[in-house]
Structure 1
Amino acid sequence: MRNKIKALVLVSLAAVTVITGCSKQVSSEGNIGSQVHHEIIGIDPGAGLMKQAAQAINDYDLKDWKLVEGSSAAMTAALDKAYKAKKPIIITGWTPHWMFAKYELKYLNDPKGVFGKDEQIHTIVRNNLKKDAPSAYTMLDRFEWTPEEMAVVMSAIIDGKKPEEAAAAWVKDNADKVDGWVKDLAQEKSKKLKLAYVAWDSEIASTNVVKAVLEEKLGYKVEMLQVEAGPMWAGISDGSADAIVAAWLPTTHQDYYDKYKGKFEDLGPNLNGTKLGLVVPTYMNINSIEELNSK
């Protein structure tokens, strides 16, 4: 009889332990705000994505939340650390980006539409570039590729290749496409060009590819200028930079577009199918920005 009672007690204790463990897990999952210290890990403060993230905090009434400024590299480092430990994290994200291939991630639903619709990346050149460097102008006007093609270059860089090496390899492997960009264009050997870009992985990839084509196929001497978004647009408008292939429109860089309108030429999209928003690992039990108020 004593053995039976002892067994029942042990079973009861085991059941309590299981229930308590489950309760802790549910409680833990249901307290995302405190687990991430009510922080959204952002990128450089000049990015339009950061402005939209700040607007999301306001529009969704996330009074206790803070948007942490930093850089693309710092954001992905924080994501990598949290992901490996299976800990919760909320970041500002965009597509195309290599992190969506490396990690299982999801965008939080944005029912208020703060982050806008899918965007395009445009090529913008300074006024009079067509007259001063006609071959470069035409090549830039023809330049267009896909998110999948961009991802090849980004992934190679993340895997350890230098950006210029990854770009050169892509240009070599996609000779037919590249030939279409430079078909019947005259060489302009040693003529100098300046390409401005922001230090996003996507723009590092695209700018290095364009640089490789301009130098290898058309003979230009290209200087790359890594700056933040504001100086990038200012450089195009005052002529201190010749071109960018990094203009996210119609949302991310719309303020700069409007501010400097008339002082540049928009050659149209070089890539379609981008997306912006707040991003979390798929193992997190949250699906919408609205839920941050209660979690």
Structure 2
Amino acid sequence: MTFLKKIAAALAVLITVGALAACSSTQPKYDAKEPLGPQINYTITGIDAGAGVMTSTDKALKAYGFVEKKWQLKQSSTAAMTSTLQKAIADKRPIVVTGWTPHWMFTKFPLKFLKDPKNVYGKTEQIHTIVRKGLKQDAPQAYQVLDQFHWTPEEMSSVMLAVNGGKDPAEAAKAFVKKHPEQIAQWTKGVTHVSGKPKLTMTYIAWDSEIASTNVVATVLRQIGYNVTIRAMEPQPVWASVATKAADAQVSAWLPNTSAKLYSDYKNQVVDLGVNLDGAKVGLAVPKYMKNINSIEDLK
């Protein structure tokens, strides 16, 4: 491609992006008197294709009869979804997104979950800590910290909100640990400092919630002497890494629904240390100004 052709191609992309932005900014505000489907082009704004909430939403579209009505689930990323959500809320435009808590968007934006009368998304979930077999013998102090790690959705959200505000995840985690000495004392109760900086690897799914939890746990483990590496992966490789002992632990197993298939695939190859957070939830969410949309069935 010649230089001039490259310039022309770049200009074409810019013009297209500008046109899309213009269309987005001029989209009408939410009209409660009109059917919702045409207002959002029968589209639910989702995240990464491999996420459990996306699988559940595909099931919901079928269970509630939306497939026949040409509704679709748009794949993107968490960052793209929250950016689209923020712009829609700023203009009071209609939007339906895949949502989950803990997440900073429920603190920052006026959102509500839609009722799920068919219980496709299940009830409130828990997040579990999963470690490799043999970790208790190989790194007993790390195992004990991981086993004792437990916090609340509000605490997790505080770290996520700091990261969303521009703070580096590692620095946000350090700030949380510094601010909560009594809680860290509970996580490290009975734990002694280790020497020689033994290596540990934690893997995580690059969701805002798991970025927060993994960085916080890694910070505590480093404080007791471990050399901790954290690596972001897709959901299946996260589980596989712990199952094959390529990684030592992960703290992002949403159960019993979101990670159900992966848990079933790998449960005999890993050790489940139990719940590290209660009250997690997934489903479809809309801005609160969409007052007459309160159930998934209302989308029709």
TM-score norm. by structure 1 comes to 0.88
Percent identity (aligned): 51
1-structure distance, mates of 2:29, 2:212 = 41
1:57 to 50, 53, 61: 61
Secondary structure class of the residue paired with 1:116: coil
Judged with a 3 Å threshold, the aligned counterparts in structure 2 of structure 1 residues 88 and 124 are, in CA distance, closer, same or farther, namely same
Query: Between Structure 1 and Structure 2, whose CA radius of gyration is higher?
Result: 1
Task: Work out the number of aligned pairs and report it.
Answer: 269
Tell me by how many angstroms 1:74 deviates.
1.1
Q: Distance in 2 between matches of 1:184 and 1:108?
A: 43
Deviation at 1:68, TM superposition (A): 1.0
Shift of 1:180: 1.8
Paired AA for residue 282 in structure 1: K
Indicate if the aligned counterparts of 2:30 and 2:93 stay in contact, CA closer than 8 A. Answer: no
The amino acid that maps onto 2:56 is Q
The aligned residue for residue 233 of structure 1 is 239
Instruction: Give 3-state SS (helix, strand or coil) of 2:73's partner.
Output: strand
Select 1:84's aligned residue among 87, 90, 93: 90
SS at match of 1:43: coil
1:212 aligns with 2:219: yes
Question: By how many angstroms is 1:27 displaced?
Answer: 6.4
Shift of 1:30: 2.1
Q: Is this contact kept in 1: 2:114–2:285, CA < 8 A? A: yes
SS in 2 for 1:235: helix
Correspondence for 1:175: 181
The code of the aligned residue for 1:46 comes to G
Corresponding position of 1:196: 203
Tell me the CA shift for residue 116 of structure 1: 0.2
Please, which runs of 5 or more residues in structure 2 have no aligned partner?
1-27
Q: TM-score, normalised by structure 2?
A: 0.87
- Separation in 1 of the partners of 2:51 and 2:79? 14
Match of 1:109 in 2: 115
Q: Which residue, out of 16, 34, 37, partners 2:38?
A: 34
Report deviation, 1:149: 1.1
Q: Which amino acid aligns with 1:122?
A: H
The one-letter code sitting in structure 2 at the alignment partner of 1:186 is: T
Amino acid at match of 2:58: A
CA deviations 1:199-238 (Å, max 9, x no partner) are 111111110000100001x111111110111111111111
In structure 1, distance between residues paired with 2:148 and 2:39 = 48
2:111 aligned with 1:95: no
Q: CA deviation at 1:176?
A: 1.2
Q: Which residue of 2 aligns with 1:43?
A: 47
Given that residues 193 and 223 in structure 1 are in contact (C-alpha distance below 8 angstroms), is that contact kept between their aligned partners in structure 2?
Answer: yes
Conserved 8 A contact 2:129-2:249: yes
Unaligned runs of 5+ in 1: 1-23
Partner of 1:123: 129
Q: Deviations 1:11-54 (Å, cap 9, x if unpaired)?
A: xxxxxxxxxxxxx9996642211111111111111111110000
User: Alignment RMSD, CA only?
Assistant: 1.5
Check whether the contact 1:62–1:292 (CA below 8 A) recurs between aligned residues.
no
The answer (yes or no) to whether the contact 1:109–1:288 under 8 Å persists in 2 is yes
Query: Which amino acid counterpart does residue 107 of structure 1 have in structure 2?
Result: F
* 1:167 counterpart SS class: helix
Rounded Cα–Cα distance in structure 2 between residues aligned with 1:255 and 1:276: 16
Residue 19 of structure 1 is matched in structure 2 by none
Determine if contact 1:92/1:277 at 8 Å carries over to the other structure: yes
Q: Distance in 2 between matches of 1:158 and 1:113?
A: 31
Please give the per-residue CA displacement for 1:125-169, whole angstroms capped at 9, x wherever unaligned: 011110111100000000001111111111111111111111001
- Aligned-partner residue type, residue 216 of structure 2: V
